[in-house]
Chain A
Amino acid sequence: MWSGHGTFDSGYGSVGSSGSAGGYTQSPGGFASLAGTQAEKKQRIRSQNIVPCTVSQLLAAEQVDETFRIHDVEISQVTVMGIIRHAEKAPTNILYKVDDMTAAPMDVRQWVDTDEAGGENVVVPPGTYVKVAGHLRSFQNKKSLVAFKIMPLENMNEFTTHILEIVNAHMILRKNLMSASRVPPPFSSGGMGEMGGYGGGGSLPVIGLTAHQSQVLNLIKNCPVPEGMSLQELKLQLHNMSMSTIKQAVEFLSSEGHIYSTVDDDHYKSTDAE
């Protein structure tokens, strides 16, 4: 199910796709996924995710400045699934109360495009199970969601999937935070399968690279010396890798632009300076 690189399919980055039947790997459960670039190391990347949550988790989320966190996992865009208990139409917005049984129903506001006739602005009737994708907000200590998409569920098996995705997402996101290395990782979305044999690195694998390539790259990145890391140094640190494997990794990383040669073809530095 998870790819051999331990990366999450870029499909997770998409938002608001219509109800896909079953298909655990296909629904936009959403974890950290970028289009392959590992140049983005900043913490703010995490707020690009869309995380499936329960209403109880959203209510329990703590706010520091502009950021919400559930057990230290930063959340911003979320999906929830629940039943509409109440719907109130106002000129500029529709206010729903969505109930997923984990807490009291949550306020979900959907802004209405006043120029558009019909279409987007049909009120979903109470008693309907819906999937809501939106942003978590807090105002005067009361949490609510601003929805950018509200879709009635056509297949209730999606609801079962959502339950499982919530457990999975929060488990993975929390574990990633706990295993983050002392060197700030370039992108701490860990792979689940391929963690074996970490020679010197100690950092998490990078999206788009194999475990070997990640290890080599992390070592090169962390090398403080001006002329960079030599192949011999790499071989010393990565005792589980043969020289030819190291050379292959270096060649790949170099052609992808992650590293460049310095004094000679045996010395490399990372293009992402720390």
Chain B
Amino acid sequence: MADVHEVPRPRIATGHLAQRIGQPVCFVGRVEKIHPTGKLLVLSDGEGKHATVELSEPLDEEISGVLEVVGRVTNQATIMCMSYVQFREDKSPFDLELYNEALKIIHEFPEYFPFGTGKNN
């Protein structure tokens, strides 16, 4: 399986998961729940909608706050996580609702914010 970090990963919200089954995506959301096994997370997007993230390995650290997850959408419209990053909020809280608005803009104007080049580079 190609390394998902070498291909375009469209930024999406929960509502887009169903249309992107099998595709690499980038999802930003706030940690709501962590399953006791440490292999399942529930994140909420900027509209408060929940998305489930599955990890291949259990978490080895405490995580909270806003996470940016890179992975592939499963048949169940969950995200199989390949990597994640915690957004730093030590200086200022991250405005997830504003990020969601920005997502709407980039989805509306893909010609000004392309994912992928449309050609082999």
A residues engaging B (CB < 8 A)? 21, 54, 56-57, 59-60, 71, 83, 85, 99, 101-105, 127, 129, 143, 153-157, 160, 163-164, 166-167, 170-171, 174
Contact = CB atoms under 8 A, between A and B. Distances in A.
Contacts of A154: 88, 91-92
Given A99-B5, A101-B9, A163-B102, A171 B115 contact: no
Contacts of A85: 5
Interface in B97-111: 98-99, 102, 105-106, 109, 111
Contact of B8 (A56, A71, A155, A167): A56
Contacts of A157: 92, 94-95, 98
Contacts of A153: 88
9 contacts: A56-B116, A57-B114, A102-B8, A154-B88, A155-B91, A156-B88, A157-B95, A163-B113, A166-B113
B7 A104 contact: yes
B85 A56 contact: no
A143 B116 CA distance: 14
Contacts of A143: 121
A156 B114 contact: no
Contacts of A163: 102, 105-106, 113
A104 B6 contact: yes
Contact of A171 (B6, B91, B109): B109
Contacts of B102: 160, 163-164
A157 B101 CA distance: 12
Contacts of A60: 114, 117-119, 121
Given A54-B113, A54-B114, A83-B85, A156 B66 contact: yes
A239 B95 CA distance: 50
Contacts of A167: 105-106, 109, 112-113
Interface residues of B, number: 34
Contacts of A104: 5-7, 121
A101 B8 contact: yes
A71 B114 CA distance: 12
Contacts of B95: 157, 160
Centre residue among A21, A102, A163 by max chain B CB count within 10 A = A102
Contacts of B109: 167, 171
A129 B102 CA distance: 18
B117 A166 contact: no
Given A103-B121, A157-B94, A157-B98, 5 more contacts: A56-B117, A83-B85, A102-B114, A155-B92, A160-B99
B40 interface: no
Nearest to A143: B121
B115 A102 contact: yes
Interface in B1-53: 5-11, 26
A225 B114 CA distance: 49
A22 B66 CA distance: 18
Contacts of A71: 111
B70 interface: yes
Contacts of B89: 156
B70 A101 contact: yes
The 9 closest A-B pairs by CB, nearest first: A60-B117, A170-B112, A104-B6, A156-B87, A101-B26, A155-B92, A167-B112, A101-B9, A163-B102
B8 A103 contact: yes
Given A156-B88, A163-B106, A103 B117 contact: yes
